[in-house]
Structure 1
Amino acid sequence: MPSPTLEPFQPEHLRANLRPLAAAVRPLSTEEQAYQRYYGLDLSVQRAGSHSQLGCFEQGDLRIVTQLWRPAQPRATLIMLHGYYDHMGLYRHLIDWALGMNFAVLACDLPGHGLSAGPRASIDDFSTYQQTLLGLLDQASQLALPQPWHLCGQSTGGGILVDYLLTGTPRPELGTTALLAPLVRPRAWGLSQLSYYLLRPFKSAIPRRFSENSSDREFLDFIQHRDPLQPRTLPTAWVGALARWIPRIERAPRSKLRPLIVQGEADMTIDWQHNLRVLQDKFDQPTILRLPTARHHLVNENEEIRNRYFAFLTEHFQ
């Protein structure tokens, strides 16, 4: 996480001045550099011959903010999707690992998250997330990013990838898929549904409760107190969209694909035991790494836990 002495960037000003990603092959603006420094995303500065781009693409009436990090001679590409309430700025550990693997990294802020447009942390239907993923894959094609295109998603990002692999038409350029604490059902889903149906007629959102979803205390403090892109409410519309999406995934046909799954056994955000059973049923013998002490936000768990699952990913992505 960034130093507390760094000056925050101006999100609205940054959004207003972004160009299409394919047209953004130029030095980063002062505002773009401030954004990358604030979140520790200025990783290309540390690697000779590499560069980064920050831009956007249009998805209907939404502007989706997109980012690319490209080594001098990448051998593959990692396409990355973040989790609910997250944004690209929180994923520097994963990006740095991928650059160390000599992968180009392409990522976006999901609708309603980070710098992307849309009601904050809300969505009417999870199909919008599929359109975002398809748009991101189109960006990879337009930029002629090196193949194979590996996929990696944390939490809701993992759920989006599960949806794509089970119900979509996966592109031939795709390589390995890694799912980090993937969403199928959240923890205590029955109670959450009851609360949703009781609250829906009266409230459009409820205050967000920040959970201890990582053992990295600095990360938890940062997202609660120093991250200007953190949503502060849980919209009931998003919960309703999730309620319609879960049966779709649990009824989806089986796939012959074999994703990698990393799951913490101290995860108190999702119903991970149920989710693993569903994913083992839906995919053909997925390779699973279970981490006894890891909580939900694997991308920002402590260094020891990160090193364990990065070693696992390195072995399977070689």
Structure 2
Amino acid sequence: SAWWHNSVGLGIIRRIKREVPRHFRRNNHNPEFLRFVRLKDPLQPRMMGMDWILAMSKWMFEMEERPACRIPVWLAQGAQDQTVDWRYNIEFIRRKFRLQTLLMLEEGSHQLINERADIRAALTGLIPAFLHAHSSKTYY
């Protein structure tokens, strides 16, 4: 487990550092997009603030504690995603929401919408179909 998943590790690190370096990983198969994110995207911080990491940790805990809801979910997931624990996340979504569709993209990684065109093409029908199917329904 990463140190920021561990409350003891997080407590120690936050007393020593206000921020930690961000590591850019190859999280899709689109080299142009990866180059842009790493070198030119002004919205991509080079350092991760401990406040952000603490907020993410708190949010993760709170999401686990929330009751399930009836919101329908269509999930597209890359089988090569190494950014998140997607196996855990799929089970989490099944517990908390109504998982209606699970599209597993064997060659997909983390940022599916920014993938190579051939991988991204699998999403082009999924998103409009989901929005059209649920545009007039209320689930709360």
TM-score, normalised to structure 2, is 0.83
Q: Which runs of 5+ in 2 are unaligned?
A: 133-140
Residue equivalent to 1:207: 21
From 63, 79, 84, the equivalent of 1:249 is 63
Structure 1 position 279, deviation (Å): 0.6
Letter in 2 for 1:271: D
Distance 1:285 1:311 in 2: 18
Pairing partner for 2:38 from 220, 224, 237: 224
Letter in 2 for 1:197: G
CA RMSD of aligned residues (A): 1.6
Match of 1:297 among 102, 106, 111: 111
Q: Secondary structure at the match of 1:317?
A: helix
Q: What CA deviation, in whole Å up to 9, does each residue of 1:15-46 have, x standing for no partner?
A: xxxxxxxxxxxxxxxxxxxxxxxxxxxxxxxx
| Larger RCO of the pair (alpha carbons < 8 Å, separation 6+) | 2
Work out whether residues 223 and 230 of structure 1, in 8 Å CA contact, stay in contact via their aligned partners in 2: yes
Deviation at 1:204, TM superposition (A): 0.4
* CA-CA distance at 1:191 after TM superposition: 3.5
SS at 1:260's partner residue?
strand
Normalised TM-score (structure 1) = 0.39
- Pair member with larger Rg: 1
1: CA distance, partners of 2:100 / 2:11? 35
CA distance in 1 between partners of 2:68 and 2:42 (Å): 41
Distance change in 2, residues 1:311/1:211 (3 Å): same
Contact 1:280–1:286 (CA under 8 A) maintained in structure 2: no
Measure the CA separation in 2 of the matches of 1:247 and 1:197: 15
Cα displacement string for residues 176-222 of structure 1 (whole angstroms, at most 9, x for unaligned residues): xxxxxxxxxxxx4x543344333111110011111111110011111
Structure 1: give runs of 5+ residues left out of the alignment: 1-187
Greater mean alpha carbon deviation, residues 307-316 or residues 258-267: 307-316
Report the 3-state secondary structure (helix = DSSP H, G, I; strand = E; otherwise coil) of the residue aligned with 1:288: strand
Query: Whole-Å Cα distance in 2 between the matches of residues 220 and 255 of structure 1?
Result: 35
Cα distance in 1 between the residues matched to 2:41 and 2:53: 23
The structure that is helix-richer by fraction is 2
Is the contact between residue 261 and residue 289 of structure 1 (CA under 8 Å) also seen in structure 2? yes
1:235 matched to 2:49: yes
How many Å apart are 1:294 and its aligned residue?
0.7
Amino acid paired to 2:81: D
**Which residue of the other structure, out of 73, 83, 92, is the alignment partner of 1:259?**
73
Partner of 1:272: 86
Taking only the aligned residue pairs, the percentage that are identical comes to 30
Instruction: Name the count of aligned residue pairs.
Output: 130
**Contact residue 267 and residue 294 of structure 1 kept, 8 A:** yes
Alpha-carbon distance in structure 1 between the residues aligned to 2:72 and 2:101: 7
1:241/1:314 Cα in 2 relative to 1: closer, same or farther (>3 Å)? same
Alignment of 1:19-98 (within 5 A): none
